[in-house]
Chains A and B, each alone.
Chain A
């Protein structure tokens, strides 16, 4: 087991180099002239201006030279300067990371809590209406286009019913609390600004629920399966025989043991969350990494596209690795090759 993990860890740098190279090629072997993203058309006709811009953005160098510079900068955490915002890509990404993390965490929280509750209910009333209902909800969650369900939810809950605020992280009129963690809810709570806290939380509800929906399905199914498994075990039978209440048995004994294998699945849902976050952020004008990626792709902002793909891959690889490690610890009997 240790050997397996070691091998995975050792493979990481090589994988990252591959990722960085692939991202570089994607950003540089492209149709179209990157200068068009930087200069306006009046300037494109002026050779002096074009030469000045090429020198400024390093476009006058050969591809291998640019690749070497790129790798050197990357090693120092420098992704270059965005064509679109004219700021260092790393700064843009760091500015926006908390927004995405806050969304992903709360989606995960919603998905896990609701998913576990549904899973327990489905296992308890196996093959009853609750079970079937949970299945159907989960199935739809993984089949519905999240950008569409988000639009519909915005229309219903924000425009028609007025229960929840619309797009964005915070009402425009509310001054964001001083940034400590970058999570608006946490920062507002730390600052004791309960008005901002409530507002930020209100803004979080719809995107988190929409994003968490797909995850909810996976987790509820997983919990259901392992609950059914655990409930066949002797000690549950014993607890029941001793006259423990149904709820007590379910929660104290069965769920506790069913949770361990199910928890490892959470890392697995990361792919859903990244995909969903990109689309959800676009619909909800959420100023996170996902909407940054979309803006960059649309503006052919290659430094930003490269930065965002490398960061995404890094997060993805880390999540997969952690999932594997968690899996190994949760199932020590499993042999991995």
Chain B
């Protein structure tokens, strides 16, 4: 199988060198993580309160203008980190844990169970990711938690496949065979000798998937299957902005935020890959 649903990643400009993208990416991520954790304490207008006249363009008072309810767009955009960043962490962590667990079992033990897991992976990967996420989110009803569940459903098979491939390769190595020969139990061999060698590609992929999850979560909110108002989630804010299209600034801030975050994770992921695993392109 050489094709798949995993989107092809693009490398940041080479002129930036190998370490610089990583530094930029980590810087951007650090900023947003910090925002997610501490934005309540920043000197900003409250994100849910009407603090100005409605639909006012950017000014010295409101740098990114105000929305249809007179709320400060800059404040709402920064508060958006409190939703997008944790969602990305939760979805990727859950997908890695669930997919990694099932993939490791499929790879290490194989057999009927392994085959069943991999067929489930095949069926899940047969759906275009966004369609599957939409169908799941529609079944569960709107809300950020449900959107997160939908995205975990979409993402776990990618890690199942990745970890299984890794485990298959590592399993054959000498030290593993030695451990088996020495009489170690299968679970122990898997946990102590096999999985620790699989983490590099998982880490690189996970870093870049953070950005993709941020994108998909915003997309689901944009079409009304994710965050609900008045939550200052970026996709939902862009959806609000689309209703007041002539007042372009309402959608501008949250859109830039998504772009910056996704670029940041892509830079960091690429930098990490170069650092950890220079052989792969």
Contact = CB atoms under 8 A, between A and B. Distances in A.
A283 interface: yes
A80 interface: no
A139 B238 contact: no
Contacts of B128: 271, 274-275, 312-313, 315-316
Nearest to B239: A147
A155 B140 CA distance: 34
Given A19-B123, A132-B15, A283-B242, A297 B225 contact: yes
B209 to A, nearest CB: 13
Secondary structure of the A side of the interface?
helix
Secondary structure of the B side of the interface?
helix
Nearest to A142: B10
Interface residues of B, number: 57
B255 A148 contact: yes
Contact of A31 (B5, B141, B266): B141
Given A15-B126, A22-B123, A145-B219, A271 B5 contact: yes
A269 B119 CA distance: 24
A279 interface: yes
Interface string B9-22: 11111110000000
Contacts of B127: 19, 22, 309, 312-313, 316
A142 B266 contact: yes
B146 to A, nearest CB: 9
A298 B262 CA distance: 27
Contact of B262 (A143, A154, A316, A320): A143
Contacts of B219: 145, 147, 275, 279
A29 B139 CA distance: 7
A283 B266 CA distance: 26
Given A127-B15, A271-B5, A320-B4, A145 B259 contact: yes
A183 to B, nearest CB: 22
Contact of B126 (A19, A147, A217, A305): A19
B139 A26 contact: yes
A211 B2 CA distance: 24
A30 B3 contact: no
Nearest to A220: B10
Nearest to B136: A26
B122 interface: yes
A204 interface: no
A273 to B, nearest CB: 9
Contacts of A135: 10-14
Interface string B256-273: 001100110010000000
A323 interface: yes
Interface in B113-130: 119, 122-124, 126-130
A67 interface: no
A275 B129 contact: yes
Contacts of A317: 126
B8 A218 contact: yes
A139 B12 contact: yes
A15 B123 contact: yes
B99 to A, nearest CB: 17
Interface string B132-144: 1011111111000
Contact of A136 (B13, B222, B254): B13
Contact of B131 (A144, A147, A154, A308): A308
Nearest to A218: B8
A142 B7 contact: yes
B222 to A, nearest CB: 5
Interface string A138-174: 1110111101110110110001000000000000000
B126 A151 contact: no
Contacts of B12: 135, 139
B238 A327 contact: no
Contacts of B262: 143-145
B107 interface: no
A315 B123 CA distance: 14
A25 B16 CA distance: 49
A212 B242 CA distance: 22
B141 A139 contact: no
B42 to A, nearest CB: 24
A59 B234 CA distance: 38
A12 B9 CA distance: 28
17 contacts: A18-B119, A18-B122, A30-B138, A30-B140, A136-B13, A140-B263, A144-B259, A151-B238, A152-B248, A217-B10, A268-B8, A278-B131, A282-B223, A298-B225, A312-B127, A315-B128, A327-B2
Given A313-B126, A327-B2, 6 more contacts: A15-B122, A19-B126, A279-B222, A293-B134, A294-B224, A324-B3
3 pairs of A and B residues whose beta carbons are closest in the complex:
A148-B255, A18-B123, A297-B138
